[in-house]
Amino acid sequence: MAKQETIYGLHAVEKFIKQSPQSVYSVCFLKGKLNKRQQSLYDQAKSLGLNIQQVSKSAFNRVDGNHQGVMADVAKQADLTESDLKQLIENTSNPLFIFLDEVQDPHNLGAILRTADAVGAHAVIIPKHNSVGMNSTVRKVASGAADNVRLIVVSNLVRTLKDMQQEGMWMIGLAGETDQTIYDHDLTGSIGIVMGTEGSGLRRLTKEACDHLAAIPMVGVVESLNVSVATGVAVYEAFRQRQMKQ
């Protein structure tokens, strides 16, 4: 049997079953009366001939989060890599990529995938090391976007940034130490938004690999925004500019 992972939460399981029913090993429901949405998912799984189990509350101890009375064991998807990224940029007009420099909180990655899906970003790119990857918490927070947005894992983020620049992409790194804001840049072409890790932001080499640095204007007492919030601000400005240009 291929490697497997557990996903949980109604929306995450619904989305996965809809998109990849052939990759589902089993769907587990909490024993007892199902609510309307659980019943709908149960009926959907049954109609697809999936293995359905009703289990005790203790069986859900292996998931860390609000499982909403449902989880599924599914085939673990192979990571997309540098070759997938190169193919994507070659076949996409004015792509919008989000590069994450060692983001380690699964809640942040899940929220960023959800925002990426909302604005139509073409991929989220993360380094293989010192970064959270796809897991059940990411899927739950992403609320279905984890199976709709390409998450590409690369071995060296700085090298990947430079490779993408050679393909015509401009890299905009989010950092506070600049007078230029995200609103001062043209984000309508082939653009990579580069975000730093929680706390320390962009690493020095990552920052040096960017074409421009941009800040998010702030007038309060806090020094920075959560990385998922900052990503949302930046990519929605890109989305706004792109919509205006259409």
pLDDT (tens digit per residue) in 90-115: 999 999 999 999 999 999 999 999 99
Residues 24 and 65 placed together within one structural domain of the fold: yes
Band of pLDDT at residue 244, cut at 50, 70 and 90: very high
Residues 69 and 157 placed together within one structural domain of the fold: no
Residues 139 and 97 placed together within one structural domain of the fold: yes
Cα dihedral 63, 64, 68, 69 in deg (nearest 10): 30
Q: Which domain holds residue 222?
A: 82-245
Q: CATH no. for residue 37? A: 3.30.1330.30
Residues 112 and 19 placed together within one structural domain of the fold: no
In the chain, DSSP assigns E strands to 4-8, 24-30, 52-55, 70-75, 96-100, 123-127, 151-154, 170-174, 191-195, 212-214
Which of 75, 97, 121 is the last residue before a domain boundary? Answer: 75
Residues 101 and 133 placed together within one structural domain of the fold: yes
Comparing CA positions, the residue from 139, 22, 96 lying closest to residue 245 is 96
What pLDDT, in 10s, does the model give residues 157-186? 999 999 999 999 999 999 988 999 999 999
Residues 48 and 121 placed together within one structural domain of the fold: no
Which of 13, 44, 75 is the last residue before a domain boundary? Answer: 75
Which of 75, 99, 127 is the last residue before a domain boundary? Answer: 75
Cα 15 from Cα 150, distance rounded (Å): 15
Would you state the pLDDT for residue 169? 97
213 vs 80, 86, 195, 201, 221, CA distance in Å?
27, 24, 10, 12, 22
Per the structure, how many domains does the chain have?
2
199 secondary structure, DSSP code: T
